[in-house]
């Protein structure tokens, strides 16, 4: 798979107000057209569609007849999984131009009092029987359980977790589109109300509107398009539970599998990574990624993060857009890991641009630490 | 207070309502029926001699499939368990849970003596007294249809 396919167009829409004017299909279509325009492609050239709800319904709405279709829904990591599947489909000749799109407007749905349809996984649902009666707060509860266990096993502290929120906010200060751009301190995080212990309010991601899309094609075709291609060097997905009681080890995510496989496919090691986009639904989520992807040893995520190396000017720039903690989080944030990774590798990230970024990792996390999907992306120089 | 069988002794429908009462899944009728008598059952695979949770027609450890007539059986659990991890919910209003009377409550993963892990609440003590490694024992919260929901409380209380 290495180097066979590339991301050639991206688009996203967020606002510091946390709310967008457009919603639903109109927002999705706008994202697709903007991403295609970014690539210099047209809708008529699209023959593959990914959508985490229904690629069929979305393709019908667009009036296109794709030969590759993917409705994979793994929660927040869905878009990294789409990327992986699209790369494989393109590499094997199944299709040529694939789009993936996401739009969700939970914040304005609430303020505008729009009716929300609540969707749960289809089929038998053991959660209703074995989890919901215990009133575990979702989605915080499972992450809080992981954090408590991590603290117990490794001595990780709330201060260390808070530093991740602080470093991420420092990136958001450089992003005029971020929801929150004012500096915070470790003390601010610890002083924010405890939600689901040990997680404080500022350990938790935002609830905002947001939308995005990306376009992929073959490496060969990518070189003929508008923007510098961002190549897929490695990709892998692994899930090991749906319910938190079924997670084999609360302190090791399936990212230890997907990350290792994706990096091996890319032929790279953690020290080769210039930008890490690691899904930060909560501070503990990001900390687990650091360990499972091999940036530090298991249990050492706290000490690793506490010197601020994840922030601007640090040795491991992480979540340079401001992340789910400070930039945007509409529910399934994985799309924004990809749009930011692509912009960093193109050198389009303005004040927050990481100098000479050649390799970026977009590491998505879905459901409750359930499904991890790792995409290793690189510039032409990395091929 | 709970008696020896772990029953809370409340008669009639529960005064406190919880967010949701559990449905009976396709493989767990025996589990829920036993709760009426204050008995905690664990499904056991006779082939690999391990417990499994949640109940299934298939043993995920060894592939034994009750669906094709192989051996999965129910065993009575001791009710003793250890807290593997826990969280204190400080914002009960956010979950809609009213069973704690609007006060912070504990959601925990506990490891039963029989080797399976389940999500539950730890009740019968101040939330701040809960620790990883705490020994707990089953207690029962009545449901509206006579079934009971297994919760856990400190073994020493």
- Do B28 and A136 lie within an 8 Å CB cutoff? no
B:1-40 residues touching chain A, CB 8 A cutoff:
18-26, 28
Instruction: Considering only the beta carbons, identify the residue of A131, A148, A194 that sits closest to B86.
Output: A148
What is the maximum span of chain B, computed from C-alpha positions, in angstroms? 47
| Chain A residues with CB-CB distance to B112 below 8 A | none
**With an 8 Å Cβ cutoff, is B67 touching chain A?**
no
Report d(CA A368, CA A132) in Å as an integer.
14
What does the alpha-carbon distance between residue A251 and residue A292 come to, in Å, rounded to a whole number? 9
Is B53 touching A (CB cutoff 8 A)?
A: yes
- pLDDT tens digits, B42-84: 999 988 899 999 998 888 888 776 655 568 899 999 999 999 9
Distance from C-alpha of A219 to C-alpha of A4, rounded to nearest angstrom: 5
Neighbours of A161 (CB within 10 A): 29
**Residues A208, A352 contacting (CB under 8 angstroms):** no
Query: How close is the nearest chain B Cα to the Cα of A90, in Å?
Result: 35
Residue A354 CB burial class (10 angstroms; 0-12, 13-18, ≥19): middle
Question: Is the preceding peptide bond at A198 cis, omega within 30 degrees of 0?
Answer: yes
What pLDDT does A314 receive?
Answer: 98
Q: How far is B70 from chain A (nearest CA, A)?
A: 22
Minimal C-alpha gap between B4 and chain A (Å): 23
pLDDT tens across the length of chain B (157 residues): 233 333 333 333 334 444 588 999 888 999 999 999 999 999 999 888 999 999 988 888 887 766 555 688 999 999 999 999 999 999 998 887 777 888 999 999 999 999 999 999 999 999 999 999 999 999 999 999 999 999 999 998 6
Burial environment of residue B133 by CB neighbours within 10 A (0 to 12, 13 to 18, 19 or more): exposed
Q: Where are the alpha helices (DSSP H) in B89-132?
A: 92-95
CA distance A374 to A18: 27
Q: Is A275 helix (H, G, I), strand (E, B) or coil?
A: strand
Structure confidence at residue A208 (pLDDT)? 97
Identify the pLDDT of residue B10. 36
| Min Cα separation B117/chain A (Å) | 6
Cα separation values, B29 from A110, B35, B41, B74, B142, Å: 39, 10, 11, 11, 17
- Residues A62, A81 contacting (CB under 8 angstroms): no
Supply the pLDDT for residue B68: 57
**Looking at the partner chain, which of B25, B84, B105 has a beta carbon nearest the beta carbon of A149?**
B84
pLDDT recorded at residue B54: 94
Residue B82 in contact with partner chain A when CB distance is under 8 A = no
From the list B28, B85, B95, the residue facing A135 with the nearest CB is: B95
Contact state of A136 with B149 under an 8 Å Cβ cutoff: no
Whether complex ipTM tops 0.95: no
Tokens describing residue A307:
């010197």
Phi, psi dihedral angles at A98 (to 5 degrees): -120, 135
For A259, the token pair is: 């990350």
Residue B4: the pLDDT is 34
Interface test with A, best of B16, B25, B111, B119 (most A CBs within 10 A): B119
In this complex, is the C-beta atom of B105 within 8 Å of any C-beta atom belonging to chain A? yes
CB atoms within 10 A of CB A171: 28
* Cβ within 8 Å of residue A262, ≥6 positions away: A234, A235, A236, A361, A374, A375, A376
pLDDT of residue B102: 85
B85 and A145 within 8 Å at the Cβ level: the answer is: yes
The pLDDT assigned to B157 comes to 63
Q: Does B99 touch chain A (CB under 8 A)?
A: yes
Q: Which two tokens stand for residue A95?
A: 């299709």
Per-residue pLDDT of chain A (383 residues; tens, 9 = 90+): 999 999 999 999 999 999 999 999 999 999 999 999 999 999 999 999 999 999 999 999 999 999 999 999 999 999 999 999 999 999 999 999 999 999 999 999 999 988 765 555 555 689 999 999 999 999 999 999 999 999 999 999 999 999 999 999 999 999 999 999 999 999 999 999 999 999 999 999 999 999 999 999 999 999 999 999 999 999 999 999 999 999 999 999 999 999 999 999 999 999 999 999 999 999 999 999 999 999 999 999 999 999 999 999 999 999 999 999 999 999 999 999 999 999 999 999 999 999 999 999 999 999 999 999 999 999 999 99
Q: Which helix (H) or strand (E) holds B70?
A: none
């Amino acid at each position: 798979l290495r180097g066979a396919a590339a991301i050639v167009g991206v688009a996203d829409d967020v606002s510091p107000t946390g709310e967008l004017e457009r919603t639903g299909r109109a927002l999705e279509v706008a994202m697709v057209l903007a991403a295609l325009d970014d690539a210099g492609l047209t809708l008529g050239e699209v023959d593959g569609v990914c959508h985490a709800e229904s690629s069929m319904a979305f393709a019908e709405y667009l009036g296109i007849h794709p030969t590759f279709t993917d409705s994979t829904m793994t929660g927040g990591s869905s878009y990294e999984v789409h990327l992986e599947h699209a790369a494989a489909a393109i590499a094997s000749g199944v299709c040529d131009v694939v789009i993936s799109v996401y739009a969700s407007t939970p914040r304005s749905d609430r303020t505008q009092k729009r009716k929300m349809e609540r969707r749960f996984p289809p089929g038998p649902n053991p959660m209703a029987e074995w989890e919901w009666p215990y009133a575990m707060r979702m989605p915080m509860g499972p992450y809080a359980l992981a954090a408590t266990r991590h603290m117990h096993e490794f001595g990780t502290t709330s201060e260390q977790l808070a530093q991740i929120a602080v470093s991420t906010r420092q990136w958001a200060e450089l992003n005029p589109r971020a929801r929150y751009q004012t500096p915070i301190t470790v003390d601010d995080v610890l002083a924010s109300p405890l939600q689901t212990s040990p997680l404080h309010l500022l350990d938790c991601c935002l609830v905002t509107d947001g939308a995005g899309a990306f376009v992929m094609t073959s490496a060969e075709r990518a070189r003929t398009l508008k923007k510098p291609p961002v190549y897929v060097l490695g990709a892998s997905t692994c899930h090991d539970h749906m319910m938190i009681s079924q997670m084999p080890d609360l302190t090791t995510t399936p990212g230890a599998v997907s990350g290792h496989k994706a990096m091996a496919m890319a032929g790279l090691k953690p020290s080769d990574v210039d930008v890490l986009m690691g899904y930060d639904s909560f501070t503990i989520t990001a900390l687990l990624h650091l360990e499972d992807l091999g940036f530090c040893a298991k249990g050492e995520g706290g000490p690793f993060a506490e010197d601020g190396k994840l922030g601007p000017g640090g040795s491991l720039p992480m979540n340079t857009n401001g992340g789910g903690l400070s930039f945007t989080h509409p529910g399934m944030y994985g799309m924004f890991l990809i749009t930011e990774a692509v912009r960093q590798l193109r050198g389009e990230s303005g004040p927050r641009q990481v100098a000479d970024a050649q390799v970026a990792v977009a590491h998505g996390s879905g459901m409750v630490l359930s499904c991890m999907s790792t995409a290793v992306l690189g510039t032409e120089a990395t091929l | 207070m709970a008696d020896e069988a772990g029953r809370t002794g409340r008669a009639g429908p529960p005064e406190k309502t919880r967010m949701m009462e559990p449905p009976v899944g396709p493989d767990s009728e025996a589990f829920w029926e036993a709760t009426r008598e204050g008995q905690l059952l664990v499904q056991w695979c006779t082939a690999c001699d391990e417990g499994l949770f949640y109940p299934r027609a298939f043993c995920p450890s060894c592939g034994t499939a009750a669906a094709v007539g192989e051996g999965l059986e129910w065993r009575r659990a001791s009710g003793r368990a250890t807290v593997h991890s826990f969280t204190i919910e400080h914002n009960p209003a956010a979950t809609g849970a009213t069973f704690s009377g609007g006060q912070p409550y504990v959601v925990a993963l506990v490891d039963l003596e029989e080797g399976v892990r389940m999500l539950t609440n730890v009740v019968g003590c101040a939330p701040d007294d809960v620790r990883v490694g705490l020994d707990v024992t089953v207690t029962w919260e009545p449901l509206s249809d006579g079934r009971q929901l297994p919760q856990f409380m400190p073994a020493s209380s």
